[in-house]
């Protein structure tokens, strides 16, 4: 499917590989604290999973008690989601356009989606669309990769073959290999700094009311590499700025 921005999971082989993931290794840290974060900030049970991919986050939210709809720009990923979750609600949104599809949400979750969205303008446009999908008092939880993930080694990722990542500026392309899937082709992401995320939120009419950077505990049942000292993920909780 042709879109105005890149989606590295749009091919069938990548979608099949990614669909096998649940919450291994470094990914565990992305989701470990979400129930408590969501419980603290969200009132209500209507949710949208923006960039749902193969449905991992959608199923996660449903287990937390949400009535959730998953949307994505990749039909191969949605096919995997529907195969694994026939009773789930999954919709294709070409170019991420949500207008008229889903409104009045208590929660919008975006897990890793903005790692693949280039340019300030595109990020702002999509976040404005997500803001319109919220009810008054609703929250957006935006889970993204930290810049540090692209210059360290991890339980679930490797960047040692891409030293050029260290010189990439915010908005540039970076490469990373996922170690928990059979498809070892490098994933191409967009580096985005915390400072630039706050600028995106400001332009979109949002503000971050909390920011979380989960670290691993040494006694957790994983072979941590950098995770106990360096946070691989950043979780922003957003609300309407006015």
Could you report the per-residue pLDDT of 84-134, keeping only the tens digit for each?
A: 999 999 999 887 677 777 789 999 999 999 999 999 999 999 999 999 999
Q: Are strands 173-178 and 157-158 parallel, antiparallel or unpaired?
A: antiparallel
Band of pLDDT at residue 6, cut at 50, 70 and 90: very low
User: Residue 3: is its pLDDT beyond 50?
Assistant: no
For the stretch 148-175, pLDDT in tens is 999 999 999 999 999 999 999 999 999 9
- 60 contacts: CB under 8 Å, gap ≥ 6: 31, 34
3-state secondary structure of 109: strand
Q: Does the structure show a pLDDT above 50 at 1?
A: no
Please check the confidence at residue 143 and state whether its pLDDT lies above 90: yes
More confident residue, 184 or 66: 66
Model confidence band, residue 51 (pLDDT cutoffs 50, 70, 90): very high
User: Starting from the edge strand earliest in sequence, which strands make up the sheet with 105-111, in order?
Assistant: 89-92, 67-72, 46-50, 105-111, 134-145, 233-240, 206-212
Domain residue spans of the chain? 12-146+201-240
pTM, 2 dp:
0.91
Architecture of domain 12-146+201-240: 3-Layer(aba) Sandwich (3.40)
d(CA 45, CA 69): 11
pLDDT (average), residues 10-35: 74
- Of 69-78, 97-106, 216-225, the one with minimum mean pLDDT is 97-106
């Amino acid at each position: 499917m042709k879109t105005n921005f890149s989606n590295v999971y749009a091919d069938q082989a990548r979608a099949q590989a990614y669909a096998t993931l649940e919450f291994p290794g470094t990914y565990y840290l992305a989701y470990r604290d979400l129930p408590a974060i969501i419980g603290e900030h969200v009132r209500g049970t209507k949710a949208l999973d923006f960039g749902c991919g193969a449905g991992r986050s959608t199923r996660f939210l449903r287990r937390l008690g949400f009535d959730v709809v998953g949307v994505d720009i990749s039909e191969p990923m949605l096919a995997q989601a529907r195969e694994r979750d026939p009773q789930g609600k999954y919709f294709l949104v070409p170019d991420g356009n949500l207008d008229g599809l889903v409104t009045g949400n208590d929660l919008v979750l975006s897990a890793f989606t903005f790692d693949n969205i280039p340019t300030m303008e595109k990020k702002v446009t999509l976040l404005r669309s997500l803001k319109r999908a919220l009810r008054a008092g609703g929250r957006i939880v935006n889970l993204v990769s930290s810049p540090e993930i692209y210059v360290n080694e991890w339980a679930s990722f490797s960047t040692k073959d891409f030293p050029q990542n260290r010189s990439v500026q915010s908005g540039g392309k970076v490469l990373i290999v996922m170690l928990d899937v059979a498809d070892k082709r490098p994933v191409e992401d967009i580096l985005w700094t915390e400072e630039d995320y706050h600028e995106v939120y400001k332009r979109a009419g949002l503000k971050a009311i909390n920011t979380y950077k989960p670290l691993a505990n040494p006694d957790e049942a994983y072979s941590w590499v950098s995770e106990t000292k360096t946070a691989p993920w950043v979780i922003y909780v957003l609300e309407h700025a006015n």
